Amino acid sequence: MSKPIELTDSIFDKFVKENGNVVVDCWAAWCAPCRMLSPVIEQLADERTDITFAKLDVDTNRAVPMRYGIMSIPTLLYFKNGKLVDKTLGALPKQMVESRLAVFD
C-alpha cells in the first residue's frame, strides 16, 4: 500500500521539482474535512503510480501555505514538473479529484 509522503517547508520545493506529477494535500489534524479527504488521497496514491501524492501539515509548516495563498483547508495543489498547474479546495469526492488529475495527461 502506497502512502502519501509527509512534506515540510524545508523539502517542499526540491520534492515537487524532482517528482514530476505531484499532488500535495495541505491539511491539519484538527480539520474534519481534511480527515474525510485523507482516505481518497490514500486510495489514489495506491491506484495512480504515475503521480506522487504528498501531505503538508499547515500547522507545523507555514511558509508553503503562505506562498500559495492557502486560506482554507483541505487544499490540494497539483504540480507538473515543479510548476503549480491546478488547485482545489474542500473535501472533494474521489471522482472529482480524479477528474482534476487530467492536468497531468
Strand-pair partners of 57:
27
DSSP state of 70: -
Active site residue 26: no
Strand-pair partners of 88:
76
Per annotation, catalytic residue among 22, 23, 26, 31? 31
User: How far apart are the C-alpha atoms of 45 and 62, rounded to whole Å?
Assistant: 24
Active site residue 31: yes
Per annotation, catalytic residue among 23, 34, 64, 77? 34
Known catalytic residues? Answer: 31, 34
